[in-house]
Amino acid sequence: MPDVAASPIVRMTYRDASRAGIREALLRDPRVFLMGEDVGRYGGAYAVSKGLLAEFGPERIRDTPLSESAFVGAGIGAALGGMRPIVEVMTVNFSLLALDQIVNNAATIRHMSGGQFSVPLVIRMVTGAGRQLAAQHAHSLEGWYAHIPGLRIVAPATLEDVRGMLWTALEDPDPVLIFEHQGLYNMEGDLAANAGPVDIDRAAVRRRGDDVTVVTYGGSLFKSLQAAEMAMAEGISAEVIDLRTLRPLDMETVVASVRRTHRVVVADEGWRSGSLSAEITTRLVEQAFYDLDAPVARVCTEEVPIPYPKHLEDAAVPQPATIRAAIQRVVAAGAR
């Protein structure tokens, strides 16, 4: 593990941190290569891979045809052959064109081979709304993939996680899907120059509190932290948990928090019906029902395709004000 304390601190964006993670992986292991649409000469649809083609060449930074099924399938084959591919899918919406490869092949090969073969494949894709990219480029479908046994699903929200989760994911013998929220790419922060791998097994408590637990991940983390600050001005102490990994869920951390606060809000950018928030709510009912002083509150995206106009997009997805309102409701309900 690098000595982060002795390392200089660098100011960078979430985009820079993601690029740094890819670059470190390429330098560390000659089996690693990046492939996907526009990752080479164009520098990536979100400029994450900008400059990597010039540094590593076309053998390791591979532009692919516009066929998600083809290049995800090629990534599965490369992983089975001993390579460590990083496959970039431009947006989660486009990953639906590779569902057969991801769900029927990558997720099942270990099981169907009786443990003889593993698929050490990492698939990175962009998720979420907030940049006016409309319905075919801005949905949050990570909860769908979290339904599938055989996959690990991670959603880095911080600079440390988007840089360090890739390192850890590449060491996993099974497929890992990394969901990077498009609204975070321009977020700036400080990061140790030699920041290394991070845990992808445990949730993180990003803010301590006593009155209510807010469970969230990805692009909704910072909205939840802002909502917690707003609630603090009203005398409500909110604890904020960043799930980080969506499959397998770290319910131990969530339940431990709820047993202290006795109230919970789940902020999830997915749609409410059949959502990850529904799964978390059900597990809390199963594991901590008698610790709850109020019903679980959920803040989810409105059940419409993501609108293009900015004011409608903002109205459709969870915002700090709507999360704060949910915090207020569960605290008031628990006080009765």
pLDDT tens-place string over residues 235-286: 999 999 999 999 999 999 999 999 999 999 999 999 999 999 999 999 999 9
Band (pLDDT 50/70/90 cuts) for residue 195 is confident
Q: Which residues of 170-181 are buried (b: 16+ CB within 10 A; e: fewer)?
A: bebebbbbbbbb
Tell me which residue of 214, 155, 208 sits closest to 184, measured CA to CA.
Answer: 155
- Selecting among 68, 160, 180, 279, the annotated active-site residue is 68
- Please report, for the chain, the start and end positions of each structural domain, with discontinuous segments joined by +: 7-192, 204-335
How far apart CA 230 and CA 172 sit, in angstroms, is 39
161-193 pLDDT tens trace:
999 999 999 999 999 999 999 999 999 999 988
- Selecting among 24, 37, 88, 137, the annotated active-site residue is 137
Superfamily of domain 7-192: Thiamin diphosphate (ThDP)-binding fold, Pyr/PP domains (3.40.50.970)
The model's pTM is 0.95
Rg (CA), the chain: 20
Residue 131 has a pLDDT of 85
The answer to whether residue 171 is catalytic is no
217-240 pLDDT tens trace:
999 999 999 999 999 999 999 999
Q: Do domains 7-192 and 204-335 have the same CATH topology?
A: yes
The answer to whether residue 88 is catalytic is no
Q: What is the helix, strand, coil percentage profile of the chain, to 5? A: 40, 20, 40
CATH of the structural domain 204-335, one choice from 3.40.50.970, 1.10.10.10, 1.10.3470.10, 3.40.50.920:
3.40.50.920
How far apart CA 333 and CA 301 sit, in angstroms, is 23
Band (pLDDT 50/70/90 cuts) for residue 196 is confident
